[in-house]
Structure 1
Amino acid sequence: MQENQPELTGLTSSEVEARVADGRINHDTDVKTKSTWQIFATHAFTLFNAVNLAMAVVIFLTGQYRNMLFLTIVAANLFIGVFQEVRAKNMVDKLTIMTQKEVTVLRDGAESSIAPSELVIDDLMRLSHGDQVPADCEVVSGNVYCDESLLTGESVPVAKKPGSPLYSGSFIESGSLVARVTKVGKDGFAAKINAEAKYVKAVKSEILATLKAIIRIGTMLLVPLGIGLFVRTYFTEGTTLVEATLSTTSAVLGMIPQGLVLLTSSVLAIATTRLGMKGVLVQQSYCVETLARVDTLCLDKTGTITSGEMEVAHVEPVKGSTEADAVSVFAAIARANVSDANETAKALLAYADANGDGAPIQVSRAVAFSSARKYSGCVTADGRGFVMGAAQFVLGEARMSEADALCEGFDAIERRMVICSCGGFDASDAIQGSPSIIGCVGIRDKVRETAPQTMQYFIEQGVELRVISGDDPRTVSAIAKIAGVPDADRYVDAATLDTPEKLDAAVDAARVFGRVTPQQKRELVDALHRRGRTVAMTGDGVNDVLALREADCSVSMASGSAAARNVSEIVLADNDFSHMPEVVAEGRRSINNLQRSASLFLVKTVFTALLALICIVIPPYPFIPIQMSLISTIVIGVPSFVLALEPNHELVSGNFLANVLSKSLPASASITLFLLLELVLGRLLGHEFAEISTVCMFITIVVGLALIYRISVPLTKLRFALLVAMGAAAAIACTAFRDFFTVAWLPLDVFIATAIFCALAVVTFLILAARFERKAGDSRVLAALVERIESGVEVPRAARPRS
């Protein structure tokens, strides 16, 4: 081949220009992240924002600008959501740029470096050890070993020679070559898989589904209730237009839990920031919740359980020789070829450095590894020849039994090589003389040191582990067993699963799947979904993209393909899978604390809707927006944020909405009941609107503080301080700032009656809460209510009960 090298001149400039003009250029090969405008539009153009903006416009027209304070919550929620997602997008884009290398091409008889996106059909590329193949091509000259694990999942290097195809996304493991580009852009092997991932992955979050359902139901109710309340207040009660408008908008705003939306965004943003400081990039904040609910984790072998590096597992010397002899020889061969060191050579050198190979052997000639010969070697300064490689190529088939006997103690996952002395090498690097065995060395994928602890964590949490790989199932099974995956010996060769029925049966029978195609990976995830499973998937290659897209939560490594990173919700920036327990812990803290805090918000949503319905019959509506802002701050806003940020490592259990309603409904019922009594008695006794409004506000705040106490048990110093602070804040707001919040001074008799009402309301709440808690586990009414609410939006898989 050497004599043909000068003839490889490549395309001319005019030929390149013609191909560019024809569109035969290597564009659009990766999955693209969303633009900043798309991210902003996703967060801005929502039903939640539309309702709040409409209410703000109505209040603005009244001139009562202080009642527009709720817009700060809407703006803060929008800012947090956009900022978090844009931050994640920028980090992923940077990772893509950092991992993208220029490619060397031959054009006009000279070499030049260009971006992979500038390649055209028929370009000649020079690729060598460590280079990623940027476009589908055909080998023109050179012999190499190619790592196609990112495409197929198969970690065994594939030999390539002139005429062999090379696929985009694979890596040159050893050797160098010149290849001609045969396919560009969307026609490439990797690009075709990526094309199926080019869409915005739907968020699968029970919390998000609950929020959407509440907002949707609230929006449907607010129109008829708002119109009815306005008509009743303005046309039959003789109030002014401004008063009727403020009263109606107060009721309408109370049905939409602005604070809960902001709290959820804030808590998840804090969680993603904490994880970001630990090297975990969360692209979609709601996936933190999904991962905490996962009950099945599908693991990719390469890059997840293993590090992608090789290590020496065994060195077995022949009788009469020592391990040190074998180590010194393979170290000499590896050092002689260090300029083209592949992962195997790096592992040999690392072992030699760690175990000491004595004085280095001086080498006068290096014999580089060749995919055709399948061995490498060297000649020492004193004329001795050494060779290392696959036994059948070094010793020949007739002497294979000698190597087999020496490797009896090696594991099934190890790649075996013989180390021999020989008479030297001829001009074409062929072995001279009969090789004499010095020893055998076993090389294997390096299992991450943290893998067993990480697997044990998920086992203790009741998460079922599945290993899905493109590698030989026996090798995958052995590695899974080392990593601590339960039932790792229950493996299946996916090449035999040639019908949907066989694949479906294998999902129940096996825990390790080998030789799996990209399409089969996706089908396995779908099969688990049909069994009611909440599935997380890890992967780093183009071959994982389809399965990553289908999983409820997908995790990829930063060192993997750009396509895998872009389609995944979580990217491990330092490629360390041991961070996964930290992600789960953050998810649990977020969900459990949000469930507790969300009950405060739903109290207001429920009693406001019921009160609006009541006030159509018995007007007026007792609150104005600024008073609802005070109630929201003291009873809901500040307490919910404090409680939501506390440590919490409890297991996530039950349905989010059911858990929230079980705590909030008793408080809502008590508040609604006593507000109704106050409206009736106030009208009968001829109380002014300001007095009725003040009494209603006191009742709501006191019951709200009682709810805070109940969900804070057992009291800690922080929770006790929170209760005292909120009580003090309410007292100060209703006295020192009573004019701002439109709080009336109550006559002594009314004040005493109000105190009695508040006490009775608290007692009623505590009784209802105790009874509700005892019966919540088998409450058909609550189950039916949750089902009706969730039917308003698509329920994510994480929220569906197992079959």
Structure 2
Amino acid sequence: MNIKNRFIFSLIVSLPMFIGMIIMPFGYDLPGGMWTMFLLTTAVMLVSGRQFLQSTWASFLNHHANMDTLVAIGTFTAYFYSIYAMLSHQPVFYESAAFVITFVLLGQVFEEKMKHAASGAVEKLMDLQAKDAEVLRNGKILKIPLTEVEVGDIIQVKPGQKIAVDGVITEGSSTIDESMVTGESIPVAKKTGDPVIGSTINNTGTFMFKASKVGNDTLLAQIVELVKKAQTSHAPIQKTVDKIADIFVPIVIIIAILTFVIWYVLLGAALVNAMLFAVSVIIIACPCALGIATPTALMVGTGRSAKLGILIKNGEILEAANNIKTVVFDKTGTITVGKPKVTDVVGDPEKVLEVAVNLEATSEHPLAAAILNKAKESGIVPHKAQNFTAIEGKGIQAQISNKQAFIGNQKLLVDYQLDDQTAAKMLQLQNEAKTVVIVGFDSKIIGLIAVQDTPKKSSAVAIAALKKRGLRTVMLTGDNEHVARAIADQVGIDEVIADVLPSDKADKVKELQQHAPLAFVGDGINDAPALTTANVGIAMGSGTDIAIESGGIVLVKNDLQDVVRALELSQKTFDRIKLNLFWAFIYNTLGIPVAAGLFSGLGLVLSPELAGVFMALSSISVVASSLLLNSVKLTHTAQST
């Protein structure tokens, strides 16, 4: 039986006793009197209260005490005492046991509803999925269920339709509303060769695309899975809370026993009154709110971040993000657009490009793509090179026409000479924030290729916002000092660490970590070790699969301003967790003296049933506090949100 049905049963069965309390002052009583109350309360205890007892027993066997321990001890003490009192013709308080269980379950019902509202982000994301697709099969367009779409299928999308799965446009163009996944409200223009995201909406044109990812591999499915995992994860602070609860529950039981002893033995109060005070202490102190303070805030915080296109993978990452003092950035594809273009060719342009394109024909590096595009524009077709070998940290070499050719960075100058004029030109290009590639043939340098990658529009704004928050910013790149410094100056980065080999990035991150906790932001395969090593790895959504897998936070929109939003939302979520814990602990602690009867002389007395009401309200207030995270204002909010 679920919580809602247990509550309804308890409410219906307890209702006659509630009516009996109302009519008793007028000289009326329930038919059957105490025996009717006994039967009704027994039904509540067996059906609705049994789970509290089972949970308490399971915890006891593991040498722990949990939230349900106090509810079980309080209600079953009231129940069994009432049996004793009934048989010895003394006043009973069966209704207290039944009402406490009813009110506790009422609090849990509200709690479940609020948790459901808090986790609504996942359901909304799942609702975005298309239900079918128009697929080209045997020369005809057929509408088939989404589950039957396969990788490689050619799919047609008309204006206003949802894109079924992830893929690449093969024919046509359009503008696509990707706001449901990226949070970006402005439609994005797409043409042949551009990627499309499943479940986004086609606005204007009709186009065909080739499915590249289906089912659980699509971006939306991965986002849903990440949000689910994050919402069910635990922040490290939860372990501290569990330890507090382990200590708090036995202390409360001791206080309840002392309350009974003081009232009954020392102060000479009636047995029933002493018992009522003791039971009220147990009920009011039940730290249910303490147990839900962390998970509810975590659920809302990660859900809201997902709506903004920021995927926080778990509570541990969220808590770590709250402590970040330094943000370290990769350069290419992170601070810069990641689509460099060739701006200068020094030497015989045709010969230099011909050698370069032969060496870079199979490379997936952004610089290689720039060289291939330039060669294509110049009508140069690559030929087959042989015997490729890597020059560690410097570049690559191969045989072209039975002669040694090479291409790489300025570290090649250790092995090869550069004439003064070419060296001066190289320095000039680097000072213009251009990356210079050295090209050699027949064991000598024949020229240079300058490639430039411009900073993203959001980079300078994001870095200024991070510095405003008091964070140190660092660029960590394999590019040379001149180019790195020029880009850093453009966007306002504090410190540059250049000429770093891919294998050394993680070591540099470890060195920086010795001074303060840091976040590393990157997108490439070579960034994966640094993303894993950092206290918080932040992967750009456009990056490689391995980088995204290594990052603890993924920025779906590839916008560096989301680094600021991720850190700010993490801080606000963690602050909310601390507020919830403080409120829950203080609420329960302050209620104990009232429940123990310390203020009874002033007429302030808390019955067990009222203690149950207040305990339920404390849980509801904590969940409501967590839900307020959905409306808390971020100082660095995207224009599109």
Letter in 2 for 1:404: A
Letter in 1 for 2:633: N
Distance 1:295 1:262 in 2: 29
Q: Cα offset for 1:459?
A: 0.8
Is 2:255 the partner of 1:267? Answer: no
Distance 1:574 1:45 in 2: 45
| Contact kept in structure 1, 2:360 and 2:372, CA below 8 Å | no
Aligned to 1:628: 611
Distance 1:475 1:211 in 2: 49
Q: TM-score, normalised by structure 2?
A: 0.51
Q: Cα offset for 1:458?
A: 0.3
What's the secondary structure of 1:294's corresponding residue? Answer: coil
Identity over aligned pairs, percent = 16
Is 2:70 the partner of 1:55? Answer: yes
Distance 1:462 1:455 in 2: 11
Aligned to 2:367: 344
Q: TM-score, normalised by structure 1?
A: 0.42
What's the secondary structure of 1:647's corresponding residue? Answer: coil
Q: Which residue, out of 461, 471, 478, partners 1:463? A: 471
| Contact kept in structure 2, 1:282 and 1:570, CA below 8 Å | yes
Letter in 2 for 1:526: Q
Matches within 5 A, 1:36-115: 50-59=65-74, 61=76, 62=79, 64-68=97-101, 69-70=103-104
Is 2:462 the partner of 1:407? Answer: no
Matches within 5 A, 1:389-404: 389=407, 400-404=419-423
What's the secondary structure of 2:605's corresponding residue? Answer: coil
Matches within 5 A, 1:150-549: 203=235, 205=237, 208=238, 211=241, 215=245, 218-219=248-249, 221-232=251-262, 236-240=268-272, 247-285=277-315, 287-288=317-318, 290-300=320-330, 304-305=334-335, 309=338, 311-312=340-341, 314-316=343-345, 326=349, 330=353, 334=357, 338=361, 343-350=366-373, 357=377, 360-361=379-380, 363=381, 365-367=383-385, 370-371=388-389, 389=407, 400-411=419-430, 415-417=435-437, 440-443=448-451, 448-467=456-475, 477=485, 479-488=487-496, 518=506, 521-528=509-516, 535-538=518-521, 548=532
Q: Cα offset for 1:225?
A: 0.9
Aligned to 1:154: none
Over residues 205-236 of structure 1, what are the superposed CA-to-partner deviations in whole Å (9 max), with x where a residue is unaligned?
Answer: 5xx58856864664363132111123345664
| Contact kept in structure 2, 1:548 and 1:555, CA below 8 Å | no
Distance 1:608 1:600 in 2: 12
What's the secondary structure of 1:442's corresponding residue? Answer: strand
Q: Cα offset for 1:272?
A: 0.5
Over residues 670-695 of structure 1, what are the superposed CA-to-partner deviations in whole Å (9 max), with x where a residue is unaligned?
Answer: xxxxxxxxxxxxxxxxxxxxxxxxxx
Over residues 324-350 of structure 1, what are the superposed CA-to-partner deviations in whole Å (9 max), with x where a residue is unaligned?
Answer: xx4898389749974666543312234
Letter in 2 for 1:403: T
Distance 2:382 2:620 in 1: 77
Q: Which residue, out of 625, 631, 638, partners 1:640? A: 625
Quickly say closer, same or farther: Cα 1:578–1:49, change in 2 above 3 A.
farther
Distance 2:254 2:409 in 1: 83
Distance 1:517 1:538 in 2: 12
Letter in 2 for 1:67: V
Distance 2:305 2:382 in 1: 52
Letter in 1 for 2:252: L
Aligned to 2:566: 583
Distance 2:547 2:65 in 1: 35
What's the secondary structure of 1:485's corresponding residue? Answer: coil
Q: Cα offset for 1:607?
A: 1.9
Q: Which stretches in structure 1 are left out of the alignment for 5+ residues?
A: 1-40, 92-200, 380-384, 421-429, 496-513, 529-533, 652-803
Quickly say closer, same or farther: Cα 1:343–1:58, change in 2 above 3 A.
same
Q: Which stretches in structure 2 are left out of the alignment for 5+ residues?
A: 1-54, 80-93, 127-232, 637-641
What's the secondary structure of 1:219's corresponding residue? Answer: helix
Quickly say closer, same or farther: Cα 1:246–1:645, change in 2 above 3 A.
farther
Q: Cα offset for 1:555?
A: 3.6
What's the secondary structure of 1:50's corresponding residue? Answer: coil
Aligned to 1:649: 634
Letter in 1 for 2:269: E
| Contact kept in structure 2, 1:225 and 1:612, CA below 8 Å | no
What's the secondary structure of 2:606's corresponding residue? Answer: coil
Distance 2:382 2:373 in 1: 22
What's the secondary structure of 2:66's corresponding residue? Answer: helix
What's the secondary structure of 2:449's corresponding residue? Answer: strand
Tell me how many residue pairs correspond in the alignment.
Answer: 432
Distance 1:263 1:391 in 2: 54
| Contact kept in structure 2, 1:588 and 1:648, CA below 8 Å | no
